Amino acid sequence: MTFEQFTATLSQPAPPAGLQPLLQSLWYDANGDWEAAHSIAQTREGEKAYDRIHAYLHRKEGDRFNANYWYRRAGSSFFDGTFEEEWAVLVKQLLS
């Protein structure tokens, strides 16, 4: 699936079948369901990819302290762009 194909699914009522969990999380986030996105991100705490999505979600929530904790756990630095830019980076990384 390409980035464009993924973003085209955002108008559907549910994530596409077979979509890996972290992409599901970002799909829910893009559709305004932070709780569903967060639930997925915290299912496998300690795995860097999950911790990285967790960091993004807490940054978006406005909890910089908690976001910094998750960025550190993911081995990443605090993202300095917009939420949209970070979301796109994460989706593209997961799709590659």
| Per-residue pLDDT reduced to its tens digit, 37-83 | 999 999 999 999 999 999 999 999 999 999 999 999 999 999 999 99
Q: How far is CA 83 from the centre of its chain?
A: 10
Report d(CA 68, CA 50) in Å as an integer.
14
Which pLDDT score is estimated for 49? 97
Predicted TM-score (pTM) of this structure: 0.94
pLDDT of residue 37: 98
In whole angstroms, what is the distance from residue 75 CA to residue 4 CA?
A: 28
pLDDT tens digits, one per residue of 15-44: 999 999 999 999 999 999 999 999 999 999
- Kindly state the average pLDDT of the residues 79-94: 97
